Amino acid sequence: MNIEYLTYNEKPISAKSLMELYKDACWWEERKEKDIEQILKLGISVGAWEDQRLIGFARAVLDGKFRAYVEDVVVFKGHQKNGVGKEIVSKLMNELSDIDVVSLFCEEKLIDFYKDNGFKPSKSQFVMHKKI
């Protein structure tokens, strides 16, 4: 398997390609292509490319200095458990190496995956959301 891991600046990611990944993961069916195009231009994102096909993706929302938040780590089902996710997260973390704290939220079944990528669970914080 010949896979390249490139930032959005190294190889732009189309909203259509990302929406295919979301669909495979049953995520964000309500999101529109124009909105996806907008988020791709913000923050830092990494794509995993097999030839010209986007097979994995992750992005970070950040303030540029102190904090970053990892979002949307997704890999096509047929490429999961082959190290693609680990490489995407590793490349993203390299891009965020100047940031003080990088955070993320994940399902319980993914805790070990993120621990293997250097993240530590926090028992002192609570996750709170407000949809506007």
CATH number at residue 52: 3.40.630.30
Looking at per-residue confidence, does 90 or 131 come out higher?
90
Q: How high does pLDDT run on average in the chain?
A: 93
Domains contained in the chain, number: 1
Q: At what angle do helices 33-40 and 15-24 cross, to 10 degrees?
A: 110
50 occurs within a structural domain? yes
46 occurs within a structural domain? yes
Nearest to 103 by CA among 77, 90, 122: 122
Express each pLDDT in 19-62 by its tens digit: 999 999 999 889 899 999 999 999 999 999 999 999 999 999 99
89 occurs within a structural domain? yes
18 occurs within a structural domain? yes
For residue 111, what are the domain limits? Answer: 3-116
State pTM to two decimals: 0.90
pLDDT at 24 (0 to 100): 95
129 occurs within a structural domain? no
85 occurs within a structural domain? yes
123 occurs within a structural domain? no
70 occurs within a structural domain? yes
Catalytic residue among 5, 8, 69, 114: 114
- Per the annotation, the verdict on 69 as an active-site residue is no
